[in-house]
Amino acid sequence: MAATRASAAASPVTDRLSRQAERLLRLLGDGRVGLALLLAAGAANVAAALLPDGPALLDAWPYAVLLGALALSAVAAAAVRAPATWREWRRPALVRPGPGAVEVRIDSVPELDALEHALRDAGYRTRREKARGGWAVHAVRRGWSRFAGQASHLALVLVVIGAAIGAAFGSETTFSLLPGDQALLDAPRAGLSSAVRLESLDAEFGPDGRPRRLDTAVTFLRDGEPVEAGTLRVNEPGAFDGYLVHPWTYGPAARLRVTTLGGNALLDAPIPLDAASGEAPVGSAELPTAGVTLGLALADAAANELGVSLVGAGGLVDTTRLQPGEEARVGDLVVRFEGFDAWVTFLSRRDPGLGVLFAGAAILCVSLAVTFWLPRRRVTVRPDAGGARIVLRGERFDRPAAELERLTERLGAAT
């Protein structure tokens, strides 16, 4: 008896929790809630793109909560609608006249078997319903297309999951290389040996100074051994060991040989001009053994003229201008300008969630295409004063008048 009373007492509580859970599920699955969350996520991404510190918004916990709520809303929407879609597809229900429906009356009443056969030939699944004093045939065409609409909700979940995987486990690294230099594709860690080596930058510029072609020749390496060679271009990154490698920015470099007056080499390497003074690219090189700094600037781009400054502890020591192949004494040093080269900054990205994100985007496109181009149609045929009345309803965005005309001809031929 005590057990029975406990069960009876617990039952209302369980029922109340069940009803509250159902209400919450329906609230989350409401299309208006999902649209509001989607607009909020879109606004956050627009703000991240426009504001100076915008990207930090996407790393904050409110944005993660927003994406989680969007994913829950999409799952709830599919969970709420799927059972009704299945029932309606497998067991077509009555279509009532009203807004959004089109109807027509035919003068003759076809036989029920012939009527159902004509509807099935038109691509409809039919269900005959008989009641006292009358009958009706309910049918649905492409009832499965509503599942495509619900698949679009789940596709959004995949997009969110893919973005979350990329944010949690992805990486992004930038590094600059001169020809012949190489670098790892990610921050150093145990087991990472994937690297890239810059071979050359082949550029072509138009009369307005804008680049027409930027071909970056690289070699990808694993364990220090060349594996694959390729040419990277704008919007044509290279893929290697799960990384996408983009040539991001580029600039000039000056190949110099610096010696003492006695001929001892202090520097023999290209120096990147990776800063700017006004509009002129500039760079510098420390010469610790001589206790000076070499300042470089592209003095005249048209003449390929390089400005060289020697700065010591007391300030400016000497300056000169050189063209490719020339050398000059600068202070107590001899500087030879071999010519110009180039440096390239690479962006290396690893995003393990990219496949999931693209799969979600593909499913979203396919499901929306099915929803809009292969819409569901429902029809009910029932007797009406010596004839029959056909009531047809499509989706809200659908115009089923042509379908009604086609059905009328088929059913009229079946009488």
Task: Dump pLDDT digits (tens) for 39-79.
Answer: 888 888 788 778 887 777 777 888 888 888 888 888 888 88
- Confidence at residue 52, expressed as pLDDT on a 0 to 100 scale: 80
The three state secondary structure string of 291-315 is CEEEEEEEEECCCCEEEEEEEECCE
- Confidence at residue 60, expressed as pLDDT on a 0 to 100 scale: 80
Distances (CA, A) of 244 to 19, 91, 163, 174, 350: 49, 50, 16, 12, 6
- In 186-314, the DSSP E strands lie at 195-205, 211-222, 225-232, 238-240, 243-260, 265-272, 275-277, 280-287, 292-300, 305-312
Taking the CA atoms of residue 304, residue 305, residue 306 and residue 310 in that order, the dihedral angle to the nearest 10 degrees is 170
Question: Class for domain 253-342, per CATH?
Answer: mainly beta
Which residue intervals of the chain bear CATH 3.30.310.10?
91-142+375-413
- Confidence at residue 209, expressed as pLDDT on a 0 to 100 scale: 59
One pLDDT digit (tens) per residue for the chain, 415 residues: 445 554 444 567 777 777 787 788 788 888 788 888 888 888 887 887 788 877 777 778 888 888 888 888 888 888 888 888 898 889 999 999 888 888 888 887 778 888 889 899 989 999 998 877 688 999 999 999 989 988 988 888 888 888 888 877 888 899 999 889 999 999 898 889 999 999 998 877 666 657 778 899 999 999 999 999 999 998 899 999 999 999 988 888 999 999 999 899 999 989 998 888 888 889 999 999 889 999 999 888 888 899 999 999 889 999 999 999 999 999 999 999 999 888 899 999 999 888 999 999 999 999 999 988 989 999 999 888 778 889 999 887 777 888 888 888 887 766 6
Contacts of 326 (CB under 8 A, 6+ apart): 336, 337
Which residue in 297, 292, 208 sits closest to 252, CA to CA? 297
Its pTM stands at 0.65
Contacts of 349 (CB under 8 A, 6+ apart): 170, 171, 172, 173, 243, 244, 245, 246
* 225 three-state secondary structure: strand
A 10 A CB-CB count for 348 gives 25
Q: Order of strands across the sheet with 101-106? A: 101-106, 387-393, 377-384, 134-141, 124-131
Contact 290, 314 (CB under 8 A): no
For residues 153 and 364, what is the distance between their CA atoms, to the nearest angstrom? 8
**Biggest CA-to-CA distance, the chain:** 119
For residues 56 and 163, what is the distance between their CA atoms, to the nearest angstrom? 15
- Confidence at residue 206, expressed as pLDDT on a 0 to 100 scale: 66
Which residue intervals of the chain bear CATH 2.60.200?
253-342
The two tokens of residue 344 are 């390239």
The two tokens of residue 288 are 């610790």
91-142+375-413 maps to which CATH number? 3.30.310.10
The two tokens of residue 34 are 């999902």
Q: Order of strands across the sheet with 275-277? A: 275-277, 280-287, 292-300, 305-312, 315-322
By CB atoms closer than 10 A (0-12, 13-18, 19+), residue 287 is: middle
